[in-house]
Amino acid sequence: MPVSAKDSGFEIAKDGIVGLVVGYDESPPSRDAVAFAAGVARRNRAWMIVAFIANVPAAAAMAPMTVPLVTADAREPDVMAGLAELGVQASFQHAVGDVATELERIAEEAHADAIVVGRSASRRHAYAGSVTTRLIRHARRPILVVP
């Protein structure tokens, strides 16, 4: 059973930024978020997790879902090579599910100080809600939104 941040004595960002989780979906805003987080991580000697979440509606979760993970696998070396060149300690993680929920879960498990995401480029999110909006409302750690 994982130890919760509360029980482990972990305090979010009390000793500076030690770790970040970055949402990545190959979009230009998510690439900007990775670049921003890499700069923060490099300057603070922090680690980062680049998280590719395949957003799957609950009804579709029962069916095998391999296409988004194949896409993530294809991009992982490019992202990780760029971060390695900068000297950033980083890992790439895949997950399937609701993007906001999975980013928070990954951040909680890793004891990350913040979650970094790119601004939504979709107009429909103004009406339907975006990952960023859901994270801001429900996350238990700071959310950094990169424009």
Distance of CA 66 to the CA centre of its chain: 20
pTM for this one?
0.79
Q: Where are the domains of the chain?
A: 16-146
Tokens 């919760």 appear where?
4
For residue 139, count CB atoms less than 10 angstroms from its CB and return exposed for 0-12, middle for 13-18, buried for 19 or more. Answer: middle
CB neighbours of 39 closer than 8 A, spacing ≥ 6? none
> Residues 101-135: pLDDT tens digits?
999 999 999 999 999 999 877 655 444 468 888 89
Cα separation, 93 vs 97, in Å, equals 13
Question: pLDDT for 68-97, tens place per residue?
Answer: 454 555 567 788 888 999 999 999 999 999
**Torsion, Cα of 80, 84, 87, 89 (10° steps):** 50
Contacts of 102 (CB under 8 A, 6+ apart): 51, 53, 95, 96
More confident residue, 99 or 130: 99
The CATH fold of domain 16-146? Rossmann fold (3.40.50)
pLDDT of residue 23: 95
